[in-house]
Chain A
């Protein structure tokens, strides 16, 4: 007797669930990163650079390449607010 098709249904269900979670994760990350791939292995430099980018552009992953910053950039830094969190670094 050949392999009954009913016995392969669970495999199809399991593979389908992998597809669903993979697609869902990729959709969520793409949405959060404005269509770009998520950044990974971020060190302190990268995190601070990302915060600076947000100050410059207003969005998380936006990038601009004008040499001179807009005038708002001089006064929208909240860095000064938290002296205690900076461990004595100016």
Chain B
């Protein structure tokens, strides 16, 4: 990113000169980019629901970053754990799905076939089901709908 005012200093070369204080525990950062993250999003959501809700409630109290460092570390670790599990068992289907998402402007609705492969593989490996939170319960969820045509 370009930092306005730093005309001859590209944002891409920026290295933070103020590292975090030594008394804070270190945590690995999540290394997936946008498309794989979106593909795994609903599974991370069901697996890490408690940690995510804790973090959101903590942030609701106080937006200062220092206040929610502990909950933030838990969220990061849980997301990394979920992604490692997906990669260990279903890497081929996962890659197919996020490559499709990347090519289709990250629309879930345009990539239902690879998504079905990924959902079936994850259900067989771990028993995880993709669940859209807040969806109406009296009809099938959007990714399980059978189209009227074709």
Contact = CB atoms under 8 A, between A and B. Distances in A.
Contact of B11 (A40, A52, A66, A78): A78
Contacts of B1: 51, 54, 78
A38 B18 CA distance: 36
B31 A70 contact: yes
A65 B32 contact: yes
Contacts of B31: 56, 64, 66-70, 73
Given A51-B1, A67-B87, A90-B65, A76 B14 contact: yes
A49 interface: yes
Contacts of A69: 28-31
A70 B32 CA distance: 10
Contacts of B105: 37, 39-41
Interface of A: 36-37, 39-41, 46, 49-54, 56-58, 61-70, 73-78, 80-82, 89-90
Interface of B: 1, 3-4, 6, 11-12, 14-16, 18-19, 28-37, 63-65, 80, 83-84, 87, 94-95, 98, 102-106
15 contacts: A36-B103, A39-B106, A50-B34, A52-B34, A53-B33, A56-B31, A65-B94, A65-B95, A67-B31, A68-B80, A69-B28, A74-B29, A81-B3, A89-B63, A90-B63
